[in-house]
Amino acid sequence: VQLQASGGGLVQGGGSLNLSCEASGNILSIAFMGWYRQAPGKQRELVAAFTRGGYTNFAESVKGRFTISYDHARKTVHLQMNNLKSEDTSVYYCNAEGRMTTMTPFNSWGQGTQVTVSS
């Protein structure tokens, strides 16, 4: 299963960016799809995720500023990031977990995309 991420870039503080991640390949079902981020010298952390059943999960630091949505038909997750802050600067990684067949799970990562927020 491959994940193709897009979006990211440079934005001023208070601005907005949208990240998208599309899953492709032999996919039976997706149980989890979301975004992590990792800044230099820090651990990778979950930013936001969409889980089967329509549940969403957000890091405390982004609640009220970021939203996540999932296009089931396109197997694409979108992360809308508003009111960006300098501390949001990081490399963002898309992650998806699910099943390729009833017997074969997958856990895939997309290439990282840089988000830089200037103060």
- Tell how strand 113-118 and strand 9-12 pair up: parallel
> pLDDT tens-digit profile of 4-19?
999 999 999 999 999 9
Question: What element of type H or E holds 22?
Answer: strand 17-24
Share of the chain above pLDDT 90, in %: 95
Encoded amino acid at 119, one letter: S
pLDDT level of residue 52 (50, 70, 90 thresholds): confident
What angle is formed at CA 11 by the lines to CA 37 and CA 84, rounded to 5 degrees? 55
User: Once rounded to an integer, what is the mean pLDDT over residues 60-79?
Assistant: 96
pLDDT level of residue 53 (50, 70, 90 thresholds): confident
Q: Rounded to 5 degrees, what are φ and ψ at 48?
A: -160, 150
